[in-house]
Each structure stands twice: as structure tokens, then as C-alpha cells.
């Protein structure tokens, strides 16, 4: 909070002479002492803006006759980053939160902007599920995904089942020849959250998958996706 105060205490505590007229003929000097006027005339306070309010100013008069000026500066309602005048402010189309341009705060989905909370409601996906889709798109087997995500099978199976229920992936083939394929809606979720998750462990996972694929390709041992599954 920044506080700025203006005072009028500079108006003397001096004793000053005044020329006084008595009866039309006689004049004399009288000495008067000015009262020291030491009071605030303007107080300026800068505070963080309220959620869902772009910016604001408020002026109030105090009982002592001073003016109090309150300036509200905007911050991103998700990450708390200060929004400068030159920054593009984005509003969640559901809750009206103001968001900065960071892809982890403002998530664009089918032409509209959402905060992470409401993007999740429209296209829910966990980090592990994103990794599974990323692995399948890169033609990895479930065992390879399990190893690269450092996940236990007990965690992988329900995440996979959920992706199937919400229509993001589909099981193709039967028995030993079965494999999973990512459906259009799964690709949409993967693309939407790619940027949103880049500041997390997702970035590390993506680079690990890249290194693994280069390594396999280099060995000449990488088989087509259908064979590995
Ligand atoms: Zn933000
Ligand atoms: Zn929202």
C-alpha cells in the first residue's frame, strides 16, 4: 500500500507584525501570533483492486476537512500478477475474473476465454490424463507411458478409464491386439491444455518423451505404434 500525504504545516509558527488603526489619527504596531495550521489536506492511498473489478478511484472527505483519495490498481485474479496499463486484460466469460495473458491463467477454448477453474469445467483433464493423451498421440504403449510418467499402474488405470468415459480416448481392437486411440475431443483437450500446463511438470514430461523417441529412433528399434501396443 502506498501512502502519500500533503500537509499545510508550512504556514508559519512565526509571530508577525500588523499595522493597526486606532482612532483615525494614531497608529501602532501590534504583534500577532499565527496559529500553527498542521493538518492533512490530501491523503492518497494505493491499494490492490478487488476481484472482478478492473480498476477504481474513490474520494472521501474526512471529518478534519481533508480529502482521502483511494486508488485501486488491478491484479490478475488468478495468479496475483499486477496488470500494467499496457497489458491486455482478459476476462473469464463465466465468472468475470480478470486475467493476465499467461496461458496458465487465461485459457482459450473454442474462441472464448476461461479462468482455469471454468476451463476445467468445460474440458476437464488432469495432468496425468494430459500425459496419457500426449503419450498416445506420440504412439507410445501404455507401459512406456507408465514408465515415463513414473506412475503406478493403480493410478494409470482409473485415469485411463475416466478418459474413456468422457470420450477423449477409445479402445480399438480386441484382446492382445487392442490399443487406445485419441478421439477429436481428446486432441482438443490436449491442445487446449498444452500451453496452460507448460509451467509445470508437463514441460519436463514432454522433453522426456522427446528424448525417449529420439533414443528409440536412433537405435532403430522403434516399431510402429500398433505393434508396440
Ligand atoms: Zn495471471
Ligand atoms: Zn472463471
CB of 196 closer than 8 Å to CB of 107: yes
Closest CA relative to residue 149, chosen from 141, 120, 215: 141
Ligand number nearest CA of 115 is 2
40 — pLDDT class (breaks 50, 70, 90) = confident
Q: Does 55 have pLDDT greater than 90?
A: no
Average pLDDT over residues 49-71: 81
pLDDT in tens, 156-190: 999 999 899 989 999 888 777 788 999 998 998 89
Cα–Cα distance, 126 to 151 (Å, whole number): 14
Per-residue b or e along 99-122, where b marks 16 or more CB atoms closer than 10 Å to that residue's CB: bbebbbbbbebeeebbbbebbeee
**Furthest CA-CA distance within the chain:** 125
**Tens-place pLDDT, residues 79-138:** 999 998 888 889 999 999 999 998 888 988 778 898 988 887 766 788 899 999 999 999
Q: Is 173 left (phi over 0), alpha (psi -120 to 50) or beta?
A: left
Nearest alpha carbon to residue 50 among 110, 96, 11: 96
Q: Which residues hold their Cβ within 5 A of ligand 1, which is an ion?
A: 76, 78-79, 81, 100, 102, 105
Taking residue 214's Cβ as centre, other Cβ atoms within 10 Å add up to 11
Ligand with minimal distance to 99 CA: 1
Distance CA 157, CA 163 (A): 10
Helix axes 153-165, 142-149, angle to 10 degrees: 120
How far apart CA 109 and CA 43 sit, in angstroms, is 44
pLDDT band per the 50, 70, 90 thresholds, residue 20: low
Question: For residue 123, how far is its CA from the centre of ligand 2 (angstroms)?
Answer: 13
% the chain with pLDDT above 90: 29
CA of 200 to the centre of ligand 2 (A): 21
| pLDDT tier, 13 (very low <50, low <70, confident <90, very high otherwise) | very low
For cell 485411463, name the residue: 160
The alpha carbon of 104 and the centre of ligand 1 are apart by a number of angstroms equal to 7
Compute, in angstroms, the gap from residue 127 CA to the centroid of ligand 1: 19
| 111 CA to centre of ligand 1 in angstroms | 19
| Radius of gyration in angstroms for the set of CA atoms belonging to the chain, rounded to a whole number | 34
Q: How far is CA 169 from CA 7, 148, 175, 228, in A?
A: 69, 19, 17, 18
- The ligand whose atoms approach the alpha carbon of 51 most closely is 2
How far is the centre of ligand 2, averaged over its atoms, from the C-alpha of 161 (Å)? 27
* Joined grid coordinates for residue 81: 500478477
Q: How many A from CA of 23 to the centre of ligand 1?
A: 77
Structure-model confidence comparison of residues 3 and 44, the more confident one: 44
Q: Which ligand is nearest to the CA of 121?
A: 2
Contact 87, 96 (CB under 8 A): no
pLDDT at position 159, please? 92
Distance 90 CA to ligand 1 centre (A): 10
Q: How many A from CA of 212 to the centre of ligand 1? A: 33
pLDDT > 70: what percent of the chain? 76
Predicted local distance difference test score (pLDDT) of residue 10: 44
pLDDT beyond 50 at 34: yes
Amino acid at each position: 500500500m502506498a501512502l502519500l500525504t500533503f500537509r499545510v504545516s508550512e504556514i508559519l509558527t512565526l509571530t508577525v507584525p500588523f499595522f493597526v488603526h486606532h482612532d483615525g489619527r494614531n497608529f501602532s504596531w501590534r504583534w500577532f501570533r499565527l496559529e500553527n495550521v498542521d493538518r492533512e489536506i490530501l491523503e492518497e492511498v494505493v491499494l490492490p483492486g478487488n476481484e472482478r473489478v478492473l480498476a477504481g478511484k474513490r474520494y472521501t472527505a474526512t471529518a478534519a476537512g481533508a480529502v482521502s483519495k483511494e486508488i485501486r490498481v488491478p491484479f490478475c485474479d488468478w495468479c496475483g500478477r499486477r496488470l500494467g496499463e499496457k497489458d491486455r486484460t482478459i476476462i473469464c466469460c463465466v465468472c468475470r475474473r480478470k486475467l493476465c495473458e499467461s496461458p496458465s491463467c487465461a485459457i482459450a477454448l473454442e474462441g472464448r476465454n476461461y479462468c482455469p477453474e471454468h476451463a476445467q469445467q468445460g474440458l476437464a483433464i488432469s495432468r496425468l490424463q494430459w500425459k496419457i493423451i500426449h503419450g498416445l498421440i506420440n504412439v507410445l504403449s501404455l507401459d512406456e507411458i507408465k514408465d515415463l510418467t513414473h506412475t503406478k499402474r493403480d493410478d494409470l488405470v482409473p485415469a485411463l478409464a475416466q478418459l474413456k468415459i468422457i470420450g477423449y480416448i477409445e479402445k480399438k481392437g480386441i484382446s492382445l491386439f487392442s490399443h487406445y486411440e485419441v478421439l477429436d475431443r481428446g486432441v482438443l483437450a490436449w491442445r487446449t491444455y498444452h500451453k496452460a500446463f507448460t509451467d509445470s511438470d508437463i514441460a519436463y514430461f514432454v522433453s522426456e518423451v522427446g528424448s525417449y523417441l529420439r533414443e528409440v529412433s536412433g537405435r532403430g528399434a522403434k516399431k510402429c505404434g500398433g505393434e508396440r501396443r
